[in-house]
A and B are shown apart, each in its own frame.
Chain A
Amino acid sequence: MAKSNEPIWWSLFSAGGMVAAMIFPILIIITGILVPFGLASDDPLNFERIHTAVTQNNYVKLIFFIVITLPLFHWAHRFRFTLVDVGLKSMSTLISILCYGGAIAGTIASAIVFWNI
């Protein structure tokens, strides 16, 4: 059987899908509903608090980094096949490059942001 890098992409897809499934709904409720409507006490996302949380500890930084980047690979893998499924099969190589490349670019951008914080 030909060597394939499919297992790598699938693992990242799967891990990213789990991260998104588990924690994105509550995060969206927090940033989209609870905070803007003032339903959470004392402005919990204020600059001091979040800045301290992210900068004071490298583990927190790493968790933020993983939460932001893994789901990008979930998107890349799923969206790649979505585009192929709607008839862009002839461009499948280009689509793979753009999707996984996009996720990798997002990961590099995240790494730079977290490095500079």
Chain B
Amino acid sequence: MSTYHRPVSNTWWLKRKTYILFMIRELTSVFVAGYCIFLLVLVYKLTQGADAYGDFMAALKSPISVALHLITLIFVLYHTITWFNLTPKILVLYRGEERIPQGLVAGTFYVGWVVVSVIVAWLVLGA
């Protein structure tokens, strides 16, 4: 015997704003994966020598590359924000008997994000 499941339409997520935002959050993962592939190609070009790598770097200036980067940035920022806002719901911390406020946990991650971003920028661009 199997339990009856009420059929759900495939477009259920279009019915409410919160559902649409949920779907957008889930789709950010596609842009995350896309950027992984971009980074992998970048490293692959490194193995192909200075000319191949140079051509790849020159292509970063193309309008298509800039546009794709900007779209990816918007989605990845949405991932970052939703991720840090969710973290305190999963990472439940206590100080003694008292639960550490969710805002403090999320805030710590936001501060960490800024610090990490500055360090990465410094390592990649300057150092």
* Distance between B120 CB and nearest chain A CB, rounded to angstroms: 5
Residues of A within 8 A of B77 (CB): 25
Chain A 102-117 per-residue mask, 1 if CB under 8 angstroms from chain B, else 0: 0000100110011011
5 further A-B pairs in the complex, CB-CB below 8 A; given A54-B43, A72-B36, A86-B10:
A20-B79, A27-B39, A35-B57, A79-B30, A114-B43
**Given the contacts A17-B83, A45-B57, A27 and B35 also touching, CB distance less than 8 Å:** yes
Report the 9 A-B pairs with minimum CB-CB distance, sorted nearest first. A32-B69, A87-B10, A75-B33, A78-B29, A26-B117, A21-B83, A21-B80, A82-B26, A75-B29
Complex interface residues of chain B between 27 and 86 (CB less than 8 A to chain A): 27, 29-30, 32-33, 35-40, 42-44, 46-47, 50, 53-54, 57, 60-61, 65-66, 68-70, 72-73, 76-77, 79-80, 83-84
Could you say which interface size class chain B belongs to? 35 or more
Whether, in the assembled complex, A44 has its beta carbon less than 8 Å from a beta carbon of chain B, the answer is yes
Whether, in the assembled complex, B96 has its beta carbon less than 8 Å from a beta carbon of chain A, the answer is no
Tally A residues with Cβ within 8 Å of B.
52
Chain B 5-40 per-residue mask, 1 if CB under 8 angstroms from chain A, else 0: 000111001000000000100110110110111111
Could you list which residues of chain B lie within 8 angstroms of chain A, going by C-beta atoms?
Answer: 8-10, 13, 23, 26-27, 29-30, 32-33, 35-40, 42-44, 46-47, 50, 53-54, 57, 60-61, 65-66, 68-70, 72-73, 76-77, 79-80, 83-84, 112-113, 116-117, 120-121, 124-126
Task: Report yes or no: B65 in contact with A64, Cβ–Cβ below 8 A.
Answer: no
